[in-house]
Amino acid sequence: MTALQQQDPEIFSLIQQEEVRQHNKIRLIASENYVSSAVLEATGSILTNKYSEGYPGKRYYEGQQLIDQIESIAIDRAKAVFGAEHVNVQPYSGSPANMAVYLAFLKPGDTILGMALPHGGHLTHGSKVSISGKYFNAVSYALNEEGILDYEEIRNKALECKPKILIAGHSAYPRILDFAKFREIADEVGALLMVDMAHFAGLVAGGVHPSPFPYADVVTTTTHKSLRGPRGAMIMCKAEYAKAIDKAVFPGMQGGPHDSTTAAIAVALKEASTDSFKKYTAQVVENAASLADVLIEKGFNLVTGGTENHLMLIDLSNKNITGKQAAKALDAAGIVLNCNSVPFDKRKPFDPSGIRLGTCAITSRGFAKAEMVILGNMMDRVVNNFEDSAVLAEIAQEVQALCDKFPAPGLEHIAK
């Protein structure tokens, strides 16, 4: 018996059931992944016992001999992987990381310009329900009719509102961003360029997506999506902004960093610098393209007509099913993703017209082209039979049989 099993069988059992769920399901939530056992081990280590306000060599509490080394290794590895001049590995997650950037450079009421939430942007890029839209004058740019970024529209908006920060980045945009264009616009209006690469950080690390680093003043990212690390975040910036960023993270936004997360970020970054990670990210993109081909062939309407990264956004308006109905039916069939607004959606965000999916997690467990064909066919069957629980149950069994052949990282002990 493990200590947890003995002391808290209720929580132990729920975690065990979640392990089985993560093994048995095809996980397509575009922001999720499977971390390695090494990342898990660091995340669950005794480093959680330590408090370390401050930065390596400049802490408020003593006993940092080893923590300083861990944080410095994480920083150095991030610099090496991304070619960043300065790195802060302490943000608790992506949202506080973005807030820290605003705190570093803005006063309440200042203007930011980011991608509209219903068009694929993130809550923290200025949505009115987020602090980013309440404390700042948040202006947003939208996509064109085809669901593609229109850089002329971004430029016009920027010339009009003169933002202090121009934000590039997204949660649900299946295309590669033109960072050079964003830089040009930022320079024209005298704005800082912030890139939130949370979704595609792993692809940048693996060299299969253009890097924002030559262009951006500040880059934020979570560490747990395509980068396959623990739940955390980093802010990377040009050296000239290092002081402002560090001061904004601590003491501006946060107290002590989560040292166990910092260690796990270091482990993930070591993994991200390997050839096998490069191959993994190439496969993520290849899998997304293969799955997109199958779905298009089945008559699914992919926003922008396809994908260039790890994710797809599907408008189901032509399929006689809402995003929520599709997501629920797919979940019942063992295929897990989220419903999502599509650009110019006529439905409400909680009950939108689309679904979003990504290939990071399934690629981590070894799915490749053949499995994308099987998966695309299964998704089509679910959508065509979403009210037939017998068909959904049959597909769930097929999903489980497929998953049994592909043990996921960290969950090898569940595989039969």
- Active site residues per annotation: 51, 53, 196, 222, 225, 231
Kindly write out the interface string for residues 134-173 of this chain, putting x where it contacts ligand DSN by CB under 6 A and - elsewhere.
-------------------------------------x--
Q: CB atoms < 10 A from the CB of 187, how many? A: 12
Measured CA to CA, the distance from residue 331 to residue 319 in angstroms comes to: 18
Q: Per CB under 6 A, does 354 bind ligand DSN?
A: no
Q: How far is the CB of 31 from ligand DSN (least distance, A)?
A: 3
Q: How far is the CB of 95 from ligand DSN (least distance, A)?
A: 7
Place of tokens 């050296």: 239
> How far from chain centre, in Å, is Cα 50?
27
Q: Per CB under 6 A, does 94 bind ligand DSN?
A: yes
Identity of the residue numbered 175: R
Size of the site for ligand DSN (CB under 6 A): 4
Q: Which two tokens stand for residue 337?
A: 């993703």
Q: Which two tokens stand for residue 212?
A: 């924002």
Which of 24, 31, 304, 359 is the binder for ligand DSN (CB under 6 A)?
Answer: 31
Q: How far is the CB of 33 from ligand DSN (least distance, A)?
A: 11
Measured CA to CA, the distance from residue 112 to residue 93 in angstroms comes to: 20
**Which is nearer to ligand DSN, 310 or 319 (by Cβ)?**
310
List helix spans (H) across 29-178. Answer: 37-43, 65-82, 94-105, 131-134, 151-161
**Which is nearer to ligand DSN, 183 or 209 (by Cβ)?**
209
Kindly write out the interface string for residues 37-76 of this chain, putting x where it contacts ligand DSN by CB under 6 A and - elsewhere.
----------------------------------------
* Residue 342 to residues 16, 109, 258, 321, Cα–Cα distance (Å): 35, 29, 36, 14
* Residue 190 to residues 25, 78, 133, 166, 212, Cα–Cα distance (Å): 48, 28, 21, 10, 18
- In the bound state, the residue with its beta carbon closest to ligand DSN is 31
Q: Per CB under 6 A, does 121 bind ligand DSN?
A: no
Q: How far is the CB of 327 from ligand DSN (least distance, A)?
A: 13
Q: How far is the CB of 352 from ligand DSN (least distance, A)?
A: 14
Measured CA to CA, the distance from residue 361 to residue 400 in angstroms comes to: 15
Q: Which two tokens stand for residue 395?
A: 């597909």
**Which is nearer to ligand DSN, 98 or 325 (by Cβ)?**
98
The closest of 304, 368, 295 to 330, measured between CA atoms, is 295
Phi-psi region of 57 (alpha: psi -120 to 50; beta: other; left: phi over 0): left
- List binders of ligand DSN among 263-302 (CB under 6 A): none
Q: How far is the CB of 189 from ligand DSN (least distance, A)?
A: 27
182: exposed, middle or buried (C-beta count within 10 Å: 0-12, 13-18, 19+)? buried
**Which is nearer to ligand DSN, 64 or 309 (by Cβ)?**
309
**Which is nearer to ligand DSN, 94 or 147 (by Cβ)?**
94
Kindly write out the interface string for residues 168-207 of this chain, putting x where it contacts ligand DSN by CB under 6 A and - elsewhere.
---x------------------------------------
Q: How far is the CB of 230 from ligand DSN (least distance, A)?
A: 15
Is 359 within 8 Å of 287 (Cβ atoms)? yes
**Which is nearer to ligand DSN, 25 or 122 (by Cβ)?**
122
**Which is nearer to ligand DSN, 191 or 339 (by Cβ)?**
339
**Rule CB under 6 A: which residues touch ligand DSN?**
31, 94, 122, 171
